[in-house]
A and B are shown apart, each in its own frame.
Chain A
Amino acid sequence: MGQFLEYVKMALDNIRSNKGRSFLTMLGIIIGITSVVTIVSIGNGLKKDVVDASNEQNNTISIQSNTEEVSDPNCITGDDISFLKTSLGDSVQSVSSYSATLGSISTRKGKFDTYVGLTTPDYENAQYQSPLVKGKYFNDNDVANANMVCVIDELTAIYLFGNTDVIGMSIELQVDSSIQDVLIIGIRETSAEMMEAEKQYLAMGMDKSINLEMPYTVSNSLGTPVEAFPSVSITAYDKDQASRIAKSAIQILNSRHQNLGESPFIQQKPMDFSDMFGSIMDGVTAFVALVAGISLIVGGIGVMNIMLVSVTERTREIGIRKALGAKTGSIIAQFLCESAIISGMGGIIGILLGAALTALITALGIGGIKAQLSFPAILVATIFSCSVGIVFGIYPARKAARLSPIEALRRM
């Protein structure tokens, strides 16, 4: 061990006395490690963003019919939805299903294409839905009687009527050949951002997209009957309860539809997407890191090159050392230490630069990337850079150690 420290000291002395050259030799390793660390960190950050984003939706569960077992996926009825709502009780904020058809509405301003959302009363509080600012949402009674009522948003109201005092007004809705008068009973808020975005669309000459929300039972009168839905969304108050609620909801649905098979209902997993994206990101990151890793090998060859030059230059020194009693192993150790230290230092500088670059990218918010330093990547980079030094140092070191002392001393 003591001897080993001597070789480390010899190596450090020599690196110190050739500062400029040592730095240039390190440069290849520095660039390689910096790029690997930065790239992996960016990849890491992107992946984390997506996974976080998808984890946020976790308090809403979507249960769908299992298309592998069920021939007609539309098997969740309005009764199922009401029953679920009652059974699940206070723990859920909303239980709703949604379907849509296309139609058009006519007002004094003209005729507009529209989406007709056919849904259930709880859709009022479903995920991502803005609160009502005027009037009320349709209720179970409206559903039962298939009342021709609808809810629109503020912007649509302004677009169609010029103001939002439209509760109690009628619009004429046409779906295929059926034409019905529909009463406006509620107005949803349009968020400021949404308002801004829509205004820009309009300014660009695009048509306003108009959405009505109506009790799904009106579909019978509209000529496109919706009797059941392929899926139901349940929003829990508490995220932690979501998976328990999902299980009991599936149980309830299964027991209500025993004729459909063993497990006709399954949970639609939002995580599937993030898992997939995560593994794609991992793949892309690994590939780009590999490309950057090639620069490490190039860096290693640079180290080898300089060490070979160094051996030639220091032939005389090697001769002196051997004459004074240095063994083959001592010379190999000295030169290997030197190349390992050079690439190890390059590695450390590279990691620091990579960390700084990562912090900089996050701070500047380039592309909204929140780069995240990856410790496994740092570990791998460190091990890799040291092994590069050792592997590419072996050849020059052996060459140095094999010099005959007489030959080496003879060179002036």
Chain B
Amino acid sequence: MEPLIKVENIHKIYNPGENEVRALDGIDLEIQRGEFVAIIGHSGSGKSTLMNMLGCLDVPTSGNYFLNGHDVSKLTDNQLSDIRNKEIGFIFQGFNLIANLNAVENVELPLIYRGLGKQKRRKIAVEALKKVGLGARMKHKPSELSGGQQQRVAVARAIAAQPPIVLADEPTGNLDTKSTKEIMDILKGLHKGGRTVIIITHDDDIAQQVKRVVRIIDGRIEEDYLNEEREGA
């Protein structure tokens, strides 16, 4: 079966010329449906750039990226918007909720851009919020929620539209230990439910909780291993 994500020799070069920065320097990566992957690396390693590529927020300077069988490395802005809307659920370190919308409205956002009607949207959003345990806080604005709760709203937003991929960028970076555990439990639950989950992190503790780890150093893949194998070794 075709991999869900197939990245072929991707380069991303900023400031081409004398002071060029090779943020990604020839990455090859395949991720199958249903995998639970951590992409780890220190800041400046290029992991965020890779996450932008995988999330279709940016296009590579060279190389190919096949998402669900489609080459997305050469799409226009609007086409990328569509792909992001349908294929990817984002979870960010800073939650990235819209401040003047309440929890359920925030969860509805990607559904609006998908063109769903109001009632259908609301139903899906409510279900997603219940799934992350926030059924009682739907009408709360982000400022009325704790960090952990805000991140759970963000998770609900990411999964509401049932995208095949959940892409989490340092999802626990701003959270305390208890909330970190809550979020990780939810992500693990998503993986168990068959979703493909990719976490970008610099935290080895987080990396140990996932199945597969991809370590990036200086824009190249340094290591790509399964935690089980390593523990077994």
Contacts and interface: CB of A to CB of B under 8 A. Distances in A.
Nearest to B94: A412
Nearest to B157: A324
Interface in B34-52: 52
B113 A325 contact: yes
Contacts of A257: none
A322 B100 contact: no
A406 B55 CA distance: 10
Contacts of A330: 113
Interface centre among B81, B82, B115 (most CB of A within 10 A): B81
Interface in B70-97: 77-78, 81-82, 84-86, 90, 92, 94, 96-97
B21 interface: no
A321 interface: yes
A230 interface: no
Interface residues of A, number: 25
Given A6-B112, A323-B84, A323-B90, A13 B100 contact: yes
Contacts of A329: 78
B98 A325 contact: no
A20 interface: no
A325 B92 contact: no
Contacts of A409: 57, 92, 96
Interface in A330-349: 330
B193 interface: no
Interface string A1-29: 01100100000011001000000000000
A1 to B, nearest CB: 11
A326 B113 contact: yes
Contacts, number: 61
Contacts of B101: 13
A405 interface: yes
Contacts of A316: 96
Contacts of B100: 13-14, 17
B151 to A, nearest CB: 14
B114 interface: yes
B52 A406 contact: yes
B111 to A, nearest CB: 9
Contact of B84 (A14, A324, A404): A324
A256 interface: no
Contacts of A328: 77-78, 81
A323 B113 contact: no
Nearest to B95: A320
A13 B78 CA distance: 25
B110 interface: yes
A13 B100 CA distance: 8
A399 interface: no
A320 B98 contact: yes
Nearest to A412: B94
Given A13-B101, A317-B98, A325 B86 contact: yes
B182 interface: no
Nearest to B85: A325
B8 interface: no
B128 to A, nearest CB: 14
Nearest to B158: A324
B174 to A, nearest CB: 11
B155 to A, nearest CB: 14
Contacts of A325: 81-82, 84-86, 110, 113-114
Contacts of B84: 323-325
A327 interface: yes
Contacts of B94: 412
Interface in B102-119: 109-110, 112-115, 117
Contact of B57 (A2, A321, A405, A412): A405
A332 B113 CA distance: 13
A3 B94 CA distance: 28
Contacts of A405: 57
Nearest to A320: B96
B58 interface: yes
Contact of A322 (B52, B81, B86): B81
Contacts of A13: 100-101
Nearest to B113: A325
Contacts of A2: 115, 117
B57 A406 contact: yes
Nearest to A317: B98
A319 B92 CA distance: 12
Contacts of A324: 84-85, 90, 109-110, 113, 157
Contacts of B117: 2
Contacts of B92: 409
A50 to B, nearest CB: 54
9 tightest A-B contacts by CB?
A325-B85, A325-B113, A17-B100, A324-B110, A327-B81, A327-B78, A320-B96, A405-B57, A406-B57
5 contacts: A14-B100, A17-B100, A321-B98, A324-B157, A328-B77
Interface of B: 52, 55, 57-58, 77-78, 81-82, 84-86, 90, 92, 94, 96-101, 109-110, 112-115, 117, 157
Given A325-B81, A325-B84, A328-B78, 5 more contacts: A320-B98, A324-B109, A324-B157, A327-B78, A409-B57
